[in-house]
């Protein structure tokens, strides 16, 4: 019976389109903006190692599970969970997993869009040649001026939200394919060019050592590494589940997941290799926080041959990568509105776009007029800026929690016959997947949570 379910939103035309779309969702600001600054803040090597372990042992099996649930339910995450809970004779409260995911996607997009706006604005900053030969101070100043100006941030945030909602309104299947098929490889090529430049700085090995030599890590750092494994693979909130719901039968979920996870990880590591040598060559601080790539890459573009051209192209492609991720962040919410509220995609996109834009104002202001204002969530976080609060809430809490429940549902609550049929893989891969989801993911997530709570309250 489940085999005949069809998505009312249509299907990907083939397997390649799905892989491209899911890679488009996975590869984004998480890889190029976030991974380097988290690595820098958490002291390098050990963080990278824990992140890679989390990708292999938690991220990959959870991604297979999400695609599988989506393809079996064929609806938005909320309705998919409702349907599957019924199929498997489980409690209807599993719909809360879908609900939490939709809220997480909405919260994440509200700040993701502001950061994507930075990338977009750097297209024009780099294009105007203002970084040619610029000193570290000048580059820092340009970044400071941007984030200090609420009007400019607001304008870029607005443009990015509109771009995202236009694509979502037309249906994610139209347009995504070209964007990902040509632009992702181009982004990859430009990253390689920056890595090549980084090799000429004389500090390349220092960057490599920073990234791969194990050192110290805090409990909060381990929590960051785990959260990042979910974030960078777009897991724990239903984005990959909803993309899975458009996946035609007969596609190998295991194989598709491996392609996506490998592409995503390679891009992140390349971004690190591009950025850290520049950090060390210019005496910058690896722990500079969210501004890290905007304070380092322009120095490279200002010095390298044809840097204005390369830099402009780079920020254009980074914006595209962010765009294809942003679309997947809001698709679960839009799919649900279309299914349950009887409105068409255009209106569903408009409403969610406006709501996300409004919430994004908080992040815009947290870098300037609200920079002294702090927020707390009782028992969870104390005294963070608006941006940090949203970011930590989603990244450190909601995504791992979503991943934990996805693991529990697919490996403990679903009948083996169902998951086996859907995954359709060899016996030992199935068993490995099951063991990782049954034991490794839940235990790891719970231990990391408990330790992090200890760290926050100590
Ligand atoms: N994976 C995206 C990135 O790395 C972000 C994202 C998270 C997208 C969750 C969808 C869902 O930028």
What's the pLDDT score for residue 173? 73
More confident residue, 456 or 101: 101
Q: How far is the CA of 97 from the centre of ligand 1 (A)?
A: 18
Residue 242 contacts residue 77 (beta carbons within 8 Å) = yes
CATH class belonging to 2-452: mainly alpha
pLDDT bin (cut points 50, 70, 90) of residue 1 is very low
What value does the mean pLDDT of the chain take? 92
CA of 328 to the centre of ligand 1 (A): 8
pLDDT for position 181: 76
Please report, for the chain, the start and end positions of each structural domain, with discontinuous segments joined by +. 2-452
Q: Tell me the mean pLDDT in the region 350-354.
A: 96
Q: What's the Cα-to-Cα distance from 38 to each of 55, 145, 176, 232, rounded to whole Å?
A: 15, 23, 29, 12
Residues 6+ positions from 327 with CB-CB distance below 8 Å: 24, 25, 164, 167, 168, 172, 176
Does ligand 1 have an atom closer than 6 angstroms to the CB of 393? Answer: no
Q: Beta partners for 377?
A: 381
If you average pLDDT over residues 208-235, what whole number do you get?
94
Arithmetic mean of pLDDT, 151-179: 87
Residue 217's alpha-carbon distances to 26, 32, 44, 442, 450, in angstroms, are 26, 21, 9, 22, 16
Residue 455, pLDDT score: 63
Q: Which residues of 439-457 are buried (b: 16+ CB within 10 A; e: fewer)?
A: eebbebbeebbeebeeebe
Of the candidates 346, 78, 99, 303, which has an alpha carbon nearest to the alpha carbon of residue 196?
303
pLDDT at 29 over 90: yes
Residue closest to 54 by CA, chosen among 457, 450, 447, 455: 447
Query: What pLDDT digit, counting tens, does each position of 41-85 carry?
Result: 999 999 999 999 999 999 999 999 999 999 999 999 999 999 999
Contact 17 CB / ligand 1 (< 6 Å): no
Cα 256 to Cα 240, 252, 262, 423, distances in angstroms:
12, 6, 10, 11
Residue 346 exposed, middle or buried by CB count within 10 Å (0-12, 13-18, 19+)? middle
Give the pLDDT score at 65.
97
Rounded-to-integer distance, Cα 247 and Cα 53, Å? 28
Determine if ligand 1 sits within 6 Å of the CB of residue 286.
no
Per-residue three-class SS string for 219-285: HHHHHHHHHHHHHHCCCCCCHHHHHHCCCCCCCCHHHHHHHHHHHHHHHHHHHHHHHHHHHHHCCCC
Best residue among 62, 329, 393, 406 to mutate for probing ligand 1, ranked by most atoms within 8 Å of CB? 329
* Ligand 1 centre distance from Cα of residue 327 (Å): 10
Segment among 170-184, 282-296, 437-451 with least mean pLDDT = 170-184
Mutate to test the pocket of ligand 1, among 328, 330, 333, 403 (most ligand atoms within 8 A of CB): 328
Q: Assess contact for 338 and 245: CB atoms under 8 A.
A: no
pLDDT at 268: 96
């Amino acid at each position: 019976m489940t085999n005949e379910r069809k998505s009312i939103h249509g299907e990907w035309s083939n397997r390649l389109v799905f892989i491209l779309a899911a890679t488009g969702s996975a590869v984004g600001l998480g890889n190029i903006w976030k991974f380097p600054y988290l690595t820098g803040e958490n002291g390098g090597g050990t963080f990278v190692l824990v992140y890679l372990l989390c990708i292999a042992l938690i991220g990959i099996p959870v991604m297979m599970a999400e695609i599988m649930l989506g393809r079996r339910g064929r609806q938005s995450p909320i309705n998919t969970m409702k349907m599957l809970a019924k199929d498997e004779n489980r409690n209807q409260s599993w719909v809360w997993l879908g609900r939490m995911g939709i809220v997480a996607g909405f919260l994440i997009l509200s700040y993701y869009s502001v950061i994507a706006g930075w990338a977009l604005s750097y297209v024009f900053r780099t294009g105007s040649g203002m970084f040619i030969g610029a000193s570290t101070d000048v580059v820092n100043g340009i970044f400071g001026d941007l984030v200090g100006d609420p009007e400019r941030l607001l304008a870029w945030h607005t443009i990015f939200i509109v771009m995202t909602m236009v694509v979502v309104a037309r249906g994610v299947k139209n347009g995504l394919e070209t964007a990902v098929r040509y632009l992702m490889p181009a982004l990859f090529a430009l990253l390689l060019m920056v890595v090549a430049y980084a090799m000429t700085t004389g500090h390349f090995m220092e960057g490599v050592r920073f990234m791969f030599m194990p050192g110290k890590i805090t409990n909060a750092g381990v929590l960051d590494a785990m959260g990042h494994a979910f974030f960078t693979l777009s897991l724990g909130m239903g984005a990959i589940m909803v993309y899975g719901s458009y996946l035609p039968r007969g596609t190998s979920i295991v194989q598709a997941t491996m392609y996506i996870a490998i592409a995503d990880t390679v891009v992140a590591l390349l971004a690190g290799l591009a950025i850290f040598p520049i950090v060390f060559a210019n005496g910058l601080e690896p722990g500079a926080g969210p501004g890290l790539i905007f304070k380092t890459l322009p120095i490279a573009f200002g010095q390298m041959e044809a840097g204005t051209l390369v830099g402009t192209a780079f920020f254009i492609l980074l914006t595209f990568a962010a765009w294809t991720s942003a679309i997947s962040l809001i698709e679960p919410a839009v799919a649900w509105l279309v299914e349950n509220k009887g409105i068409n995609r255009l209106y569903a996109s408009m409403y969610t776009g406006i709501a996300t834009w409004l919430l994004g104002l908080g992040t815009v202001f947290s870098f300037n007029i609200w920079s002294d204002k702090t927020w707390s969530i009782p028992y969870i976080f104390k005294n963070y800026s608006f941006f940090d609060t949203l970011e930590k809430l989603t990244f450190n809490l909601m995504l791992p929690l979503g991943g934990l429940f996805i693991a529990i549902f697919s490996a403990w609550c679903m009948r083996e016959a169902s998951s086996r049929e859907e995954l359709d893989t060899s016996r030992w891969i199935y068993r490995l997947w099951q063991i990782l989801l049954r034991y490794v993911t839940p235990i790891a997530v719970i231990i990391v949570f408990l330790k992090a709570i200890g760290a926050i309250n100590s």
